Amino acid sequence: EGRLRQALQLERRAARLLGDPVFSPLALLFPNYPDGAGLPTGAALQERLSELAEALHNTNSRPVDPPVDMDFSACSPSSRLLRSSFPGVSRQARNDVFAELETYETDELYLAFWTPEVMFGGYFGQQRDRQVASDQLLLIGVVATALALMAVMTRSAFVAAMGMLGIVLSAGGAFFIYRVFVSSWFGILNGFAFFLLLGIGCDDVFVLA
């Protein structure tokens, strides 16, 4: 309830610069929207969320940029995303507005503004890149652990180091050939190939040793 009221407050702040939103999922929850009075609380709010989730989940044609998470359903009536659509503005005005309200973050809520053309390639791309950067630390831990285990099992730090070097070089070569001759798209599933190469490479080192 508190987060919904905070979201409404922030949306009203944006509306003073962008104009009233063309569509807002908050209008489905606040009976007196844009006034915050009358919001259901407790069990009534949960029942209202379940009703909306079931209605959206049963929609035959889901929008390309839905106002809530794609898995928002009666079985999972929670969403980390609430998307309001604002009317179009000129590029200069849009840049000025976005410079002022690009992000707004609290302990419980993150508000972002983006245009349709950069919705997926820009905002979500940045979020993905941040996550990948943080996960690289885990990847370093995986490689270090595999290297240590190979050194213990083969009783040779040199063999383990050369085996890991071969794995890394093969992964880098495969990535280079893929990007140059196959496709510039590199999805999440493509990243799993490194772990497959790591497993096969470690196994080969044990056999050769």
Question: Once rounded to an integer, what is the mean pLDDT over residues 79-89?
Answer: 77
pLDDT-above-90 percentage for the chain: 16
Maximum CA pair distance of the chain? 73
Report the SS3 class of residue 117: helix
Of 5-19, 91-105, 184-198, the poorest mean pLDDT is in 91-105
Q: Is the pTM of this model over 0.75?
A: no
Question: Once rounded to an integer, what is the mean pLDDT over residues 109-113?
Answer: 69
CA-to-CA distance for 117 and 111, rounded, in angstroms? 18
CA-to-CA distance for 44 and 39, rounded, in angstroms? 9
Question: Once rounded to an integer, what is the mean pLDDT over residues 21-45?
Answer: 86
Whether the predicted pLDDT of 46 surpasses 60: yes
Report the SS3 class of residue 25: helix
At residue 94 the predicted structure's pLDDT band, cuts being 50, 70 and 90, is low
5 is written with which tokens? 């009221």
150 is written with which tokens? 């190979």
Q: Which residues are paired to 103 by β-bridges?
A: 112
Average pLDDT, the chain: 79
Q: Can you count the helices (H) and strands (E) in the chain?
A: 6, 2
